[in-house]
Amino acid sequence: MILEGVRKSFGKKEVIRGVNLEVKGGEVLSLVGPSGSGKSTLLKCINRLIEIDSGRILVGGRNIKEMDPVELRREVVLVPQNSVTFPGSVLDNVMMPLRAQGVEDRRRAEKALLEAGLSRELFSRNAEKLSGGEKKRVALARALVLRPKALLLDEPTAGVDPKKVGIIEESILDMVRGRGITVIWVTHDVSQALRVGDRIASMKKGKVIKVGERDRFQWEGVY
């Protein structure tokens, strides 16, 4: 995944300011930076929930502007910070994106739920009555069931019981590394960035200002 000179403004305010970034295939890139630095907006630009003003974004060597948005969002799936569940069972929630493609594959949905760390006893439960952490896992399963090439995770453990954060981190890493999925993982937590990322990139005022290997990343000036 390659971003070249990506810019985005809302009115007169430029929120993404010439971002250049390369994410290696199969790596987990932690994206850090102060609130309002453009991290979430950048994720939305990558799968075209927000259209960029200039520059280009390449996924698998293809310019995303030349891709059908629906096809792109199957290959590059965004898991937003606020996990959304829909009326119906947990299994129904994960079947939803498959049914949108005309696919009725219960086993595939069940496998995604199990890989996300949800037990079979939860499959028939009303998804809207789950805990915050369980809803996060449903959102992850719903993303993984599409068998994406890349995941864009926006604060995937925000609002989760601190005692369960490590469990969710491990579940995500097991799932993506087992499948070779490329990940951009947005977090405000320095410790988490170090735990999950192969490399770390930092944003400030709409720009990517630093990129480096986890064990050699220079944190000065990031926050």
pLDDT (tens digit, 9 = 90+) per residue, 18-67? 999 999 999 999 999 999 999 999 999 999 999 999 999 999 999 999 99
Tell me, yes or no, whether 211 lies in a domain: yes
Instruction: Assign residue 6 the CATH number of its domain.
Output: 3.40.50.300
- In the chain, the number of structural domains is 1
pLDDT in the model for residue 210: 93
Average pLDDT over all residues of the chain: 91
Tell me, yes or no, whether 6 lies in a domain: yes
Tell me, yes or no, whether 201 lies in a domain: yes
Residue 119, pLDDT > 80, answer yes
Tell me, yes or no, whether 135 lies in a domain: no
CA 88, 140, 102, 128: dihedral to nearest 10 degrees?
A: 10
Tell me, yes or no, whether 90 lies in a domain: no
Kindly report the CA angle at 186 between 196 and 72, in degrees rounded to 5?
A: 105
Tell me, yes or no, whether 54 lies in a domain: yes
**CA–CA separation, 92 and 147 (whole Å):** 17
pLDDT in the model for residue 28: 97
Ranking 50-54, 87-91, 175-179, 197-201 by mean pLDDT, the lowest is 175-179
Segment 62-90 shows an average pLDDT of 90
Spacing of C-alpha 15 from chain mean position:
19
Residues with Cβ within 8 Å of residue 211, at least 6 apart in sequence: 21, 199, 200, 201, 202
Residues with Cβ within 8 Å of residue 122, at least 6 apart in sequence: 90, 113, 130, 134
Domain encompassing residue 69? 2-85+147-216
pLDDT in the model for residue 11: 94
Tell me, yes or no, whether 7 lies in a domain: yes
Tell me, yes or no, whether 156 lies in a domain: yes
